[in-house]
Amino acid sequence: MTHYVWDFPKEIFHIGSYAPRWYGLMFAIGFMASFNIMKLIFVKEGRKVDDLSSLLTHLMVGVIAGARLGHCLFYAPEEYLANPIRILMVWEGGLASHGASIGALLALWIYQRKHRDQSYMWLADRLAIGVALTASCIRIGNLFNSEILGKPSDVPWAIIFADTHDNIPRHPAMIYESLSYLMLAGVLSLLYVKTKGEKRGQMLGLMLVWVFISRFFIEFIKENQVAFENAMPINMGQILSLPFIVLGFLLLSGKLLAWCPWLNYADAPLVVEAVKETKPKEKTKAKKSLAS
Protein backbone atom coordinates (compact mmCIF):
# COMPACT_ATOMS: atom_id res chain seq x y z
CA MET A 1 0.00 0.00 0.00
CA THR A 2 1.28 3.45 -0.92
CA HIS A 3 1.20 6.03 1.86
CA TYR A 4 1.59 9.79 1.70
CA VAL A 5 5.05 11.04 2.68
CA TRP A 6 5.04 14.24 4.74
CA ASP A 7 8.18 16.19 3.88
CA PHE A 8 6.99 19.78 4.22
CA PRO A 9 9.57 22.38 5.36
CA LYS A 10 9.18 23.64 8.93
CA GLU A 11 10.20 27.18 7.98
CA ILE A 12 8.06 29.52 5.89
CA PHE A 13 11.07 31.30 4.39
CA HIS A 14 14.68 32.22 5.16
CA ILE A 15 16.22 35.69 5.29
CA GLY A 16 19.71 35.17 6.64
CA SER A 17 19.33 33.60 10.06
CA TYR A 18 15.69 34.70 10.27
CA ALA A 19 13.39 31.77 9.55
CA PRO A 20 9.82 32.00 10.88
CA ARG A 21 8.09 28.65 11.27
CA TRP A 22 4.68 27.46 10.21
CA TYR A 23 4.04 26.41 13.81
CA GLY A 24 4.39 30.00 14.99
CA LEU A 25 2.14 31.21 12.19
CA MET A 26 -0.58 28.68 13.08
CA PHE A 27 -0.29 29.70 16.74
CA ALA A 28 -0.74 33.36 15.74
CA ILE A 29 -3.65 32.56 13.42
CA GLY A 30 -5.39 30.75 16.26
CA PHE A 31 -4.95 33.67 18.64
CA MET A 32 -6.14 36.22 16.10
CA ALA A 33 -9.16 34.08 15.22
CA SER A 34 -10.00 33.88 18.92
CA PHE A 35 -9.59 37.66 19.23
CA ASN A 36 -11.96 38.35 16.35
CA ILE A 37 -14.56 35.90 17.63
CA MET A 38 -14.50 37.64 21.00
CA LYS A 39 -14.73 41.01 19.26
CA LEU A 40 -17.93 39.93 17.52
CA ILE A 41 -19.33 38.69 20.84
CA PHE A 42 -18.38 41.89 22.69
CA VAL A 43 -20.03 44.04 20.02
CA LYS A 44 -23.13 41.83 19.96
CA GLU A 45 -23.52 41.97 23.75
CA GLY A 46 -22.65 45.65 24.15
CA ARG A 47 -19.32 45.17 25.94
CA LYS A 48 -16.27 47.43 25.71
CA VAL A 49 -14.23 46.29 22.71
CA ASP A 50 -11.23 48.24 24.03
CA ASP A 51 -10.86 45.61 26.76
CA LEU A 52 -9.98 42.93 24.22
CA SER A 53 -6.36 44.00 23.76
CA SER A 54 -5.78 43.56 27.49
CA LEU A 55 -7.60 40.22 27.42
CA LEU A 56 -5.50 38.94 24.51
CA THR A 57 -2.27 40.07 26.19
CA HIS A 58 -3.15 38.31 29.44
CA LEU A 59 -4.05 35.12 27.59
CA MET A 60 -0.93 35.11 25.42
CA VAL A 61 1.34 35.48 28.44
CA GLY A 62 -0.63 32.91 30.42
CA VAL A 63 -0.73 30.34 27.62
CA ILE A 64 2.95 30.60 26.67
CA ALA A 65 4.21 30.70 30.27
CA GLY A 66 1.89 27.88 31.30
CA ALA A 67 2.76 25.74 28.29
CA ARG A 68 6.49 26.14 28.91
CA LEU A 69 6.31 25.52 32.66
CA GLY A 70 3.98 22.58 32.06
CA HIS A 71 6.47 20.92 29.72
CA CYS A 72 9.39 21.51 32.07
CA LEU A 73 7.64 20.37 35.26
CA PHE A 74 5.45 17.57 33.91
CA TYR A 75 7.81 15.95 31.42
CA ALA A 76 11.39 16.78 32.45
CA PRO A 77 11.43 18.19 36.02
CA GLU A 78 14.87 16.87 36.99
CA GLU A 79 16.48 18.26 33.85
CA TYR A 80 15.03 21.76 34.18
CA LEU A 81 15.18 22.11 37.96
CA ALA A 82 18.87 21.25 37.81
CA ASN A 83 19.34 24.18 35.43
CA PRO A 84 16.33 26.51 35.87
CA ILE A 85 17.61 29.11 33.41
CA ARG A 86 16.77 26.65 30.62
CA ILE A 87 13.08 27.08 31.43
CA LEU A 88 13.33 30.51 29.79
CA MET A 89 14.82 29.06 26.59
CA VAL A 90 11.48 28.60 24.84
CA TRP A 91 13.19 28.54 21.42
CA GLU A 92 14.66 25.14 22.30
CA GLY A 93 11.14 23.71 22.03
CA GLY A 94 8.90 22.10 24.58
CA LEU A 95 5.35 23.30 25.24
CA ALA A 96 2.61 21.34 27.01
CA SER A 97 -1.07 21.91 26.27
CA HIS A 98 -2.14 21.00 29.81
CA GLY A 99 0.15 23.69 31.17
CA ALA A 100 -1.25 26.11 28.58
CA SER A 101 -4.77 25.34 29.82
CA ILE A 102 -3.82 26.04 33.43
CA GLY A 103 -2.02 29.22 32.37
CA ALA A 104 -5.05 30.42 30.40
CA LEU A 105 -7.44 29.84 33.31
CA LEU A 106 -5.15 31.73 35.70
CA ALA A 107 -4.56 34.56 33.21
CA LEU A 108 -8.31 34.93 32.76
CA TRP A 109 -8.75 35.19 36.53
CA ILE A 110 -6.10 37.94 36.72
CA TYR A 111 -7.76 39.80 33.84
CA GLN A 112 -11.20 39.52 35.45
CA ARG A 113 -9.89 41.01 38.71
CA LYS A 114 -9.04 44.13 36.70
CA HIS A 115 -12.28 44.18 34.69
CA ARG A 116 -14.95 43.42 37.24
CA ASP A 117 -17.87 44.28 35.00
CA GLN A 118 -17.30 40.90 33.32
CA SER A 119 -17.75 37.75 35.38
CA TYR A 120 -15.17 34.98 35.15
CA MET A 121 -17.69 32.48 33.81
CA TRP A 122 -19.15 34.95 31.31
CA LEU A 123 -15.68 35.35 29.84
CA ALA A 124 -14.67 31.68 30.03
CA ASP A 125 -17.80 30.45 28.27
CA ARG A 126 -17.36 32.84 25.37
CA LEU A 127 -13.64 32.23 25.07
CA ALA A 128 -14.30 28.50 24.70
CA ILE A 129 -15.13 28.91 21.00
CA GLY A 130 -11.86 30.66 20.17
CA VAL A 131 -9.83 28.33 22.40
CA ALA A 132 -11.15 25.28 20.52
CA LEU A 133 -10.28 26.91 17.18
CA THR A 134 -6.83 27.91 18.43
CA ALA A 135 -6.16 24.36 19.64
CA SER A 136 -7.10 23.09 16.18
CA CYS A 137 -4.65 25.51 14.54
CA ILE A 138 -1.85 24.57 16.94
CA ARG A 139 -2.22 20.87 16.10
CA ILE A 140 -1.77 21.76 12.42
CA GLY A 141 1.38 23.57 13.55
CA ASN A 142 2.49 20.30 15.15
CA LEU A 143 1.95 18.63 11.77
CA PHE A 144 4.29 21.14 10.11
CA ASN A 145 6.87 20.37 12.81
CA SER A 146 6.40 16.60 12.35
CA GLU A 147 5.86 16.21 16.09
CA ILE A 148 3.37 14.47 18.39
CA LEU A 149 3.58 11.47 16.10
CA GLY A 150 1.15 8.60 16.06
CA LYS A 151 2.07 4.95 16.39
CA PRO A 152 2.83 2.81 13.33
CA SER A 153 -0.32 1.92 11.41
CA ASP A 154 -1.43 0.36 8.13
CA VAL A 155 -4.66 2.38 7.79
CA PRO A 156 -5.03 3.87 4.28
CA TRP A 157 -4.60 7.44 5.56
CA ALA A 158 -1.43 6.71 7.56
CA ILE A 159 1.42 9.13 6.87
CA ILE A 160 5.16 8.57 6.56
CA PHE A 161 6.99 11.44 8.24
CA ALA A 162 10.26 12.04 6.42
CA ASP A 163 11.87 13.56 9.52
CA THR A 164 11.73 10.23 11.36
CA HIS A 165 13.93 8.56 8.69
CA ASP A 166 12.28 5.21 9.42
CA ASN A 167 9.88 5.06 6.44
CA ILE A 168 7.11 3.78 8.75
CA PRO A 169 3.48 4.81 8.13
CA ARG A 170 1.94 6.31 11.25
CA HIS A 171 -1.39 7.54 12.53
CA PRO A 172 -1.61 11.31 11.85
CA ALA A 173 -2.61 11.82 15.50
CA MET A 174 -2.24 15.59 15.35
CA ILE A 175 -4.73 15.72 12.46
CA TYR A 176 -7.23 13.66 14.47
CA GLU A 177 -6.98 16.16 17.31
CA SER A 178 -7.18 19.16 15.00
CA LEU A 179 -10.37 17.88 13.37
CA SER A 180 -11.91 17.08 16.76
CA TYR A 181 -11.22 20.59 18.06
CA LEU A 182 -12.47 22.19 14.84
CA MET A 183 -15.72 20.26 15.17
CA LEU A 184 -15.94 21.39 18.80
CA ALA A 185 -15.58 25.04 17.75
CA GLY A 186 -18.54 24.57 15.43
CA VAL A 187 -20.67 22.91 18.12
CA LEU A 188 -19.84 25.64 20.64
CA SER A 189 -20.73 28.33 18.11
CA LEU A 190 -24.13 26.73 17.55
CA LEU A 191 -24.63 26.39 21.31
CA TYR A 192 -23.84 30.08 21.80
CA VAL A 193 -26.29 31.12 19.08
CA LYS A 194 -29.00 28.88 20.54
CA THR A 195 -28.58 29.78 24.22
CA LYS A 196 -27.05 33.28 23.81
CA GLY A 197 -24.48 32.16 26.37
CA GLU A 198 -27.02 32.37 29.17
CA LYS A 199 -26.42 28.86 30.53
CA ARG A 200 -23.33 29.69 32.54
CA GLY A 201 -20.55 27.13 32.65
CA GLN A 202 -22.02 24.96 29.90
CA MET A 203 -19.75 26.08 27.07
CA LEU A 204 -16.57 25.91 29.14
CA GLY A 205 -17.67 22.58 30.60
CA LEU A 206 -18.39 21.10 27.17
CA MET A 207 -15.05 22.33 25.87
CA LEU A 208 -13.10 20.76 28.75
CA VAL A 209 -14.93 17.43 28.48
CA TRP A 210 -14.65 17.25 24.68
CA VAL A 211 -11.02 18.36 24.41
CA PHE A 212 -9.62 16.21 27.17
CA ILE A 213 -11.66 13.08 26.49
CA SER A 214 -10.51 13.35 22.86
CA ARG A 215 -6.97 13.83 24.08
CA PHE A 216 -7.22 10.88 26.49
CA PHE A 217 -8.26 8.38 23.81
CA ILE A 218 -6.06 9.72 21.00
CA GLU A 219 -3.07 9.29 23.33
CA PHE A 220 -3.49 5.52 22.92
CA ILE A 221 -2.38 5.81 19.30
CA LYS A 222 0.44 8.31 19.95
CA GLU A 223 4.07 7.62 20.61
CA ASN A 224 5.10 8.48 24.17
CA GLN A 225 6.88 11.81 24.43
CA VAL A 226 9.36 10.84 27.15
CA ALA A 227 11.01 7.56 28.11
CA PHE A 228 9.56 7.27 31.62
CA GLU A 229 6.06 6.97 30.12
CA ASN A 230 6.94 3.57 28.65
CA ALA A 231 6.62 1.98 32.09
CA MET A 232 3.26 3.63 32.83
CA PRO A 233 -0.19 2.07 32.17
CA ILE A 234 -1.37 5.44 30.84
CA ASN A 235 0.92 8.27 29.85
CA MET A 236 1.40 11.71 31.37
CA GLY A 237 -0.92 13.38 28.87
CA GLN A 238 -3.75 11.05 29.89
CA ILE A 239 -3.11 11.50 33.61
CA LEU A 240 -3.13 15.29 33.25
CA SER A 241 -6.36 15.15 31.22
CA LEU A 242 -8.36 13.51 34.03
CA PRO A 243 -8.68 16.59 36.33
CA PHE A 244 -9.87 18.70 33.39
CA ILE A 245 -12.49 16.08 32.48
CA VAL A 246 -13.77 16.06 36.07
CA LEU A 247 -13.83 19.88 36.10
CA GLY A 248 -15.79 19.87 32.85
CA PHE A 249 -18.44 17.50 34.19
CA LEU A 250 -18.75 19.57 37.38
CA LEU A 251 -19.47 22.61 35.23
CA LEU A 252 -21.98 20.77 33.03
CA SER A 253 -23.82 19.47 36.08
CA GLY A 254 -23.94 22.94 37.65
CA LYS A 255 -22.24 21.72 40.82
CA LEU A 256 -19.11 23.84 40.46
CA LEU A 257 -21.11 27.07 40.23
CA ALA A 258 -23.22 25.96 43.19
CA TRP A 259 -20.05 25.47 45.22
CA CYS A 260 -18.28 28.56 43.86
CA PRO A 261 -21.01 31.08 42.94
CA TRP A 262 -18.46 33.90 42.93
CA LEU A 263 -17.26 32.60 39.55
CA ASN A 264 -20.46 34.02 38.15
CA TYR A 265 -20.29 37.36 39.95
CA ALA A 266 -19.25 40.69 38.54
CA ASP A 267 -19.42 44.18 39.92
CA ALA A 268 -22.22 46.03 38.16
CA PRO A 269 -21.79 49.75 38.83
CA LEU A 270 -24.55 50.68 36.37
CA VAL A 271 -27.02 48.56 38.31
CA VAL A 272 -25.95 50.09 41.62
CA GLU A 273 -26.25 53.62 40.22
CA ALA A 274 -29.73 52.83 38.90
CA VAL A 275 -30.80 51.71 42.38
CA LYS A 276 -29.45 54.93 43.90
CA GLU A 277 -31.31 57.08 41.40
CA THR A 278 -34.66 55.34 41.79
CA LYS A 279 -34.40 55.00 45.58
CA PRO A 280 -32.34 57.98 46.80
CA LYS A 281 -33.36 57.55 50.44
CA GLU A 282 -32.30 53.94 50.64
CA LYS A 283 -28.71 53.05 51.35
CA THR A 284 -27.68 50.17 49.18
CA LYS A 285 -24.77 47.96 49.96
CA ALA A 286 -25.13 46.01 46.75
CA LYS A 287 -21.70 45.80 45.27
CA LYS A 288 -22.09 42.71 43.24
CA SER A 289 -24.67 41.17 40.99
CA LEU A 290 -24.82 38.31 38.57
CA ALA A 291 -23.24 39.43 35.30
CA SER A 292 -25.81 40.05 32.64
What pLDDT score was predicted for residue 267? 61
SS3 readout for the chain: CCCEEECCCCECCCECCECCEHHHHHHHHHHHHHHHHHHHHHHHCCCCCCHHHHHHHHHHHHHHHHHHHHHHHHHCHHHHHHCHHHHHCHHHCCCCHHHHHHHHHHHHHHHHHHCCCCCHHHHHHHHHHHHHHHHHHHHHHHHHCCCCCECECCCCCCEEEHHHCCCCEECCHHHHHHHHHHHHHHHHHHHHHHHCCCCCCHHHHHHHHHHHHHHHHHHHHECCCCHHHHHCCCCHHHHHHHHHHHHHHHHHHCHHHHHCHHHHEECCHHHHHHHHHHCCCCCCCCCCEECC
pLDDT in tens, 167-225: 999 999 999 999 999 999 999 999 999 998 889 999 999 999 999 999 999 999 999 98
What pLDDT score was predicted for residue 256? 96
Q: Which residues of the chain have pLDDT under 70?
A: 267-292
Residue-range domain boundaries for the chain: 4-10+19-265
